[in-house]
Amino acid sequence: MSEQITMRIDGQVCTAKEGQTIIEVAQANGRYIPSLCHMPGLSADGCCRLCLVEVTGLNRLLPACTTPVRNGMSVVTDSERLNQNRLMALELLFSERNHICAVCVSNGHCELQGLAQQLGLTHIHFTYNYPKLPVDVSHPRFVLDHNRCILCARCVRVCDEVEGAHVWDIAGRGINSMLVSDLQRPWGESQSCTSCGKCVQVCPTGALVEKGHAVEEMTKRNAVVTQLAIKRGTHP
């Protein structure tokens, strides 16, 4: 039986179970922590660094999605220091790839765009890279646009943990990392892809979309994936 834990989040006393993470306890108690890589139903990855929080007694910031709670812990989720770090992380995401919202099929339904608006991001201090990245349209139903990928690895995890196909992986290092299918084959030539579309539904941006959608038409249903994960027993 899991040990009962008492902690504080922004001064609010919260109870949790041993093994839960900060972001899980925060969400269960109505406290919002921004994130792009975290999604209920999938394992924690901690790659977007937007869910960083302050923990009393520590000088460094910790990712809420991968940090387990402990008894007596006191967490701050909203401060000037955290907001500055989150804005910087968002700016780096926008500068690394080619996010042109006006012509994106996920415009108005994009988690990256929505988070930027929520945090008040109005301009980028960093130089845009403008990389020349391909668009894979080889799949009969779906499109992979590397220009809009933020490498959150949601697609990798849902394909592995929920669908069990493990089509996707991330190849390369640092800024040169790229999402790849079946050891860098075009998506349409993948022999392991089941065309289930779960990867498309969990993608927070317009990187993975269904064909036949115009600007502002592509909406995602990632809550369905969470429900499937719970029913199949893959929910962490």
- Domain range annotation of the chain: 4-78, 84-232
Q: What is residue 224's predicted lDDT score, i.e. its pLDDT?
A: 84
At 162 the pLDDT is: 93
Q: Is the pLDDT of residue 1 over 60?
A: no
Task: Tell me the two tokens of residue 46.
Answer: 């901690």
The proportion of the chain whose per-residue pLDDT surpasses 70, expressed as a percent, equals 97
pLDDT at 234 over 70: no
Q: Which fold has domain 4-78?
A: Ubiquitin-like (UB roll) (3.10.20)
pLDDT score of 6 more than 60: yes
Residue 222 scores a pLDDT above 90: no
pLDDT, the chain, mean: 94
- C-alpha span between 110 and 116 (Å, rounded): 10
The confidence band for 7, taking pLDDT boundaries of 50, 70 and 90, is: very high
Assess whether pLDDT exceeds 70 at residue 2.
no
Identify whether the C-beta of residue 177 lies closer than 8 Å to the C-beta of residue 235.
Answer: no
Structural contact between residues 144 and 210, judged by C-beta atoms closer than 8 angstroms: no
Is there a common fold for 4-78 and 84-232? no
Question: What was the pLDDT predicted at 231?
Answer: 74
Distance between CA atoms of residues 125 and 87, nearest Å = 10
Residue scoring higher pLDDT (233 or 167): 167
Closest CA to 84 of 110, 109, 61, 59: 61
Residue bearing tokens 């988690």? 111
Q: How far apart are CA 26 and CA 15, in angstroms?
A: 10
Answer whether residue 202 shows pLDDT above 60. Answer: yes
Q: Distance (Å, rounded) from C-alpha 227 to C-alpha 236?
A: 12
> Which pLDDT score, from 0 to 100, does residue 232 have?
72
14, containing H or E segment: strand 12-17
pLDDT tens, residue by residue, 149-189: 999 999 999 999 999 999 999 999 988 999 999 989 999 99
pLDDT band of 230, cuts 50, 70, 90: confident
Residue 93 has pLDDT above 80, yes or no: yes
Match 């289930």 to its residue by tokens. 196
pLDDT tens string 30-83 = 999 999 999 998 999 999 999 999 999 999 999 999 999 999 999 999 999 999
- Out of 3.30.300.30, 3.40.630.30, 3.40.50.20, 3.30.70.20, select the CATH number for domain 84-232: 3.30.70.20
C-alpha 80: how far from chain center:
23
List pLDDT tens digits, range 101-117. 999 999 999 999 999 99
End-to-end CA distance of the chain: give it in Å, rounded: 16
State residue 233's pLDDT score.
67
Provide Rg for the chain, Cα atoms: 18
